[in-house]
Structure 1
Amino acid sequence: MSAGVTRSISVRTAAKVNLHLGVGAPREDGFHPLSTVYQAIGLYDDVTVRRSPTWNLSLETAEHVNAEAIPLIDNIVHHAARALGERHGRDLVAAVQIDKNIPVAGGLAGGSADAAGALVALDRLFGLQTSDEDLLEIAAGLGSDVPFALMGGTAIGTGRGELVEPVDDPGTWWWVAVTSRDGLSTPEVYRHFDRLFPDADPEPKGIEAVLAALASGEPLLLARSLHNDLQDAALDLRPDLARLIEEGEAAGALRGIISGSGPTVVFLAEDADSARHLGADLLGAGHEIALAAPGPVSGATLVSL
């Protein structure tokens, strides 16, 4: 192999929270139309790819990540590599390592983050020079949250969430994510939403209040505007999460809300110190995982060659 060939690439990708998640009645194809505002927060996975004669996926996890819940045989990273290779008419064979810090099955889109990281890393490793438009199109075929994981920052999501448009967000927001080792099935949460709201409006609730709060830079205004149509379904399936929200707000959070389909609860804090104190209080109260993180942060970012 010549000295000029890139041997290893690492890409860092971030978790997401939904500041707003409006859900419409299911369409004829079974998908629910969404109107969402995503924000990438400072909880990260690193995806490293190396040239290899055979495909291999390995995993390193933080203590708070349930490694047993992450498939190594049929991981979304495999699908990302296959889709990118098909776009260029070639097989992309590499050794892939995921250093995972984003909790699993928690509504933080950790799997989508890994897929986005793999797309960028493999594209650079093999010198494919895939356009941003093509990467976003491939990402949309992998999952609704993958295009945003590429983009990061703060963005509006429509369609199934896969159509993303960046939002000017001048604020710095501080969150505490409290996750659960017992996940919630996203399809089951949507099915329960349909059972609870059989007459749901076909058009999801609008995002205007959240956008105005973001423009203000005021944490209290953002707290008041946070919205998640899936929250009632998630709390009905997991009543313990309602108690967690009450506990966090009593401990000083401006607002607690289910992230995505749950079960992670994210609390908006006044500032960095408030977030750290809140996280410490929740850990002291017996919760295993309470992670303070700022937002917005960048999407899939090259961290090493």
Structure 2
Amino acid sequence: MTLPVASERVHVRAPGKLNVFFEVGDVHEDGYHDVASAYQAVSLYEDVWAEPSDDFTLSVSGSVDVSGVPADDRNLALRAARMVAQRIGYDGGVHLDIVKNVPVAGGMGGGSADAAAALVACDALWGGQLGSAELQRLAARLGADVPFALMGGTAIGTGRGDQLSPALAQGRFEWVMVTSDTGLSTPEVYGHLDAMRAQPDIAPPRAVPGVDPEVLQALRAGNAAALAARTRNDLQPAALSLRPDLGDVLEAGERAGALVGFVSGSGPTIAFLASDPAAALDLQVTLSAAGHVALHVHGPVAGARVLAR
């Protein structure tokens, strides 16, 4: 059926994310892994505009290289739009205009943020009124990071990362992100981790991943130094093995005063935690002067939401 369109054009903004803690369990027969993650949404955003169309189409632009972003049904945002239409029985189409600021294939969930934004935008455009629980259910079908892009804030993810529980985080954490011109394939990084773990000198992962309780305590207290002492990313050794140059970036940031640096998700984006906004600005300036693309962001921030016209 054709539903009444709530607006001629809907604008939704969704955040990129960091995994401030990421433990990866054993690989299953289907190739997937159980994980335990502490997610934080940060102020690096994807913007999606949705408007009525006879078909399902999209255009992509942004401040990052978007040449590798598909414009067909391989794109999670377009799949999200079709999913909403099917769920509410809408027989029209939509055009999605995506403006990307999160690095593509950078380990910050940019594609997942696009999908979350598309779910919210299409629901609003078509007057679906699906509600947050149903949108979360649809999001989980699109990928592990999509539900968190909807939720935002700080959360603990288990299972494949899509079983979310909100986590209390006091105050504001200051991050400097160093991006890379060349992305890393998430499946390739996981596959390389499995290959590395098959070597006898790599300790096997725990059977059931879990988030370190001290990470939760540091987030709850808003204590950047305590969080820095407990950050962890099990994918980092594999990402550094595939991209040894990232190790030089980590060393440069920590020499320049970062409390800690780590690979974001599957990489290659590097996240540095700073003690306060002034320290973050100094770190950004130092890394930029060394020739890196360095961005100062903060977290936690809200998840996908409709912006006023």
CA-to-aligned-CA distance 1:20-61 (integer Å, 9 cap, x gap): 000000123321000000000000111010112333211221
User: What does 1:66-85 correspond to in 2, within 5 Å?
Assistant: 66-73=65-72, 74-85=74-85
1:292 aligns with 2:291: no
Structure 2's unaligned 5+ residue stretches are 199-203
2:92 and 2:120 map into 1 onto residues whose CA distance is: 13
- The equivalent residue for 1:36 is 37
2:59 is paired with a residue whose SS is strand
- The equivalent residue for 1:134 is 134
Residue pair 2:55, 2:95 contacting (<8 A) in 1 also? yes
Residue pair 2:5, 2:127 contacting (<8 A) in 1 also? no
- The equivalent residue for 1:7 is 8
| C-alpha spacing 1:89/1:35, structure 2 compared with 1 (3 Å) | same
Residue pair 2:156, 2:165 contacting (<8 A) in 1 also? yes
- The equivalent residue for 1:266 is 271
TM-score where L is the length of structure 1: 0.95
CA-to-aligned-CA distance 1:225-281 (integer Å, 9 cap, x gap): 111011111111111111110100000111000110101000000111111111111
2:111 is paired with a residue whose SS is helix
CA-to-aligned-CA distance 1:153-200 (integer Å, 9 cap, x gap): 000001100111111111210000101111111111101111111343
1:241 aligns with 2:240: no
1:55 and 1:71 map into 2 onto residues whose CA distance is: 14
Residue pair 1:16, 1:41 contacting (<8 A) in 2 also? yes
User: What does 1:139-158 correspond to in 2, within 5 Å?
Assistant: 139-158=139-158
| C-alpha spacing 1:239/1:52, structure 2 compared with 1 (3 Å) | same
Residue pair 1:26, 1:202 contacting (<8 A) in 2 also? no
Residue pair 1:15, 1:42 contacting (<8 A) in 2 also? yes
2:5 and 2:300 map into 1 onto residues whose CA distance is: 36
| C-alpha spacing 1:5/1:139, structure 2 compared with 1 (3 Å) | closer
1:59 aligns with 2:60: yes
1:168 and 1:235 map into 2 onto residues whose CA distance is: 31
2:278 and 2:173 map into 1 onto residues whose CA distance is: 12
TM-score where L is the length of structure 2: 0.94
User: What does 1:169-188 correspond to in 2, within 5 Å?
Assistant: 169-188=169-188
2:28 and 2:20 map into 1 onto residues whose CA distance is: 23
1:68 is paired with a residue whose SS is coil
Residue pair 1:210, 1:222 contacting (<8 A) in 2 also? yes
Residue pair 2:48, 2:118 contacting (<8 A) in 1 also? yes
1:4 and 1:114 map into 2 onto residues whose CA distance is: 21
* 1:92 positional shift: 4.8
1:53 and 1:92 map into 2 onto residues whose CA distance is: 6
Partner AA of 1:296 in structure 2: P
1:34 and 1:194 map into 2 onto residues whose CA distance is: 14
1:264 and 1:302 map into 2 onto residues whose CA distance is: 27
2:108 and 2:210 map into 1 onto residues whose CA distance is: 21
Q: Percent identity?
A: 47
- The equivalent residue for 1:197 is 197
Residue pair 1:16, 1:108 contacting (<8 A) in 2 also? yes
CA-to-aligned-CA distance 1:85-131 (integer Å, 9 cap, x gap): 22223335112101111111000000000000000000000000002
Residue pair 1:57, 1:72 contacting (<8 A) in 2 also? yes
| C-alpha spacing 1:18/1:5, structure 2 compared with 1 (3 Å) | closer
1:5 and 1:248 map into 2 onto residues whose CA distance is: 47
Task: Judge which range, 194-203 or 226-235, deviates more.
Answer: 194-203
* 1:205 positional shift: 4.4
Structure 1's unaligned 5+ residue stretches are none
* 1:4 positional shift: 8.2
